[in-house]
Structures are given as structure tokens and as C-alpha cells.
Amino acid sequence: MNGNKKNSDAIYNLLVEKATLKQKIFDNTLEAFKWVKQIAQELETEFNDKLREHDQRILLRYKNVGIFQSELKVAGDMLIFYMHSNVFQFDRDHRIWKTKYVKQDYFASYVGIISIYDFLADSFRYGRNEDMGYLIARVFINKDNNFFVEGKRQRAYLDEDFQDRKVTKERLRDVIESAILYALQFDLLVPPYDTVKVATVEQMLEARKIGVPTGKRVGFSFRTDDIDLPGPDDKIYYTGG
């Protein structure tokens, strides 16, 4: 049964068009994420050259976790840089649809995403898997290698500039430095007395092993165990939807 040729042709053309589009976006985002890793490594070297004479305990620590994830320890914070392996489109309520750029080019609304999360470094050091992290920035990159940023302290990158703002290493460094500044100024809050005045034996026994669960703010949990990450040397291709 051959089915309807008109429908078959439409399906074929859409598959080819979208698959090519998403592969290009994936490639653009992956290339940008390589820059993100390079920038984090460069910041580690640059700051440690100065900090080493001041206090060894506050040295930056960079770690490449895999193709889609890396870490930068900055004082008591752990910044997680994470690239999603899929390509997304904005929902219809997002302000991006009001830009002239997207109105003129529907496919410009498809993007790859690089996210920056802020966790407490001690959460990883002591294996406190229930500790909360905080999303402080998201970088959106499209087929034209244009980008904009949503997040804390990222007001210099508004979506009105989306059509003219190309991804460059210098611009990504600005985003990362802004995220680091925000994380360093984003302090722990003392929990209300009534929320901690009673504790169970189980909680105290658990605290002996891993410490008391802690987070900068109540938000969401992010665990690398939830994601099947390839190794840092694996060659990858876009296979998402």
C-alpha cells in the first residue's frame, strides 16, 4: 500500500528540512559549548595565577565531566555548564515571537540550549544528592549562529538583538563572568527557626554521613545520574527530536 503521494512527499520534505535544520543548530550549539569549556579553563588559569599567592583554598577548579557537561568550582560555589542534546522551539507565549526576526523566519525560532546552574560545592564534596541548585542563565543558539540569554545579571543580551548577535568567544566569556559574579553574590539564607527546630534521629544519623541537606534557594534538583552522558572523547551527532 503506497498511501497518499501528496502526504508522503510532504512528510519526506519536512523530515529532510527539519532534520537538516536541527543538525545545524546542534552543531552550532556544540561548537559554542566547546568555547564555554575553553573559557572556564582560561578563567581557572588566569585567576589562580593571582589567587595562589593569596590563599590556596580559594583556587578555581575546572573539570570536564563529558561532552555535554563541565564544572567550575568558584569558592564555595559549583557552576555546572550543561548543553542539552536536543533542539527546542519556544512556546507561543514567549516574547521571541514578537521580534521581527522570528516573524520573518519561522525556523529562526528553533534553538539549542546551554544552561548554567549554581550549586554549593559542598553538595558534591559530601555527596548531598538532595541539595538544590539554581538555574542562573540559559544561552539560546539558532541555525544562523545567533544567540540571546535569559537569566540573572544577563540584561545586556536581550532578544531584540537576536538577529544581529552572533555567538563569539568574547560574548560567551561575558555571559560566564556575569554568571560567576551572580553566584558569588548569591548567599545562603539562614532557614527560619520554626523549620529546623525539630529533627529526627534518622536526620542526625544521615547528617553524620553526608551533612545536612542545603541549598541556596528552594528550586529544583539536578543530578547527573538522570542523564546518560557520553565520555569526553566520544564523537557525537544530533539524534534528538
How do the domains of the chain map onto residue ranges?
5-226
Beta partners for residue 81, in sequence order: 70, 116
Residues 6+ apart with CB under 8 A from 212: 203
The model carries a pTM of 0.79
In three-state secondary structure terms, 137 is strand
Q: pLDDT tier at 22 (50, 70, 90 boundaries)?
A: very high
Q: Round the average pLDDT of the chain to a whole number and report it.
A: 81
Kindly tell me the number of DSSP H helices and DSSP E strands found in the chain.
6, 7
231, pLDDT greater than 50:
no
107-130: average pLDDT: 90
pLDDT of 226 above 50: no
Largest CA distance in the chain: 76
Mean pLDDT of all residues in 189-216: 67
Q: Where are the alpha helices (DSSP H) in 66-211?
A: 100-104, 121-125, 169-185, 193-196, 201-210
Model pLDDT, residue 103: 92
Calpha distance 224→235 (Å, rounded): 20
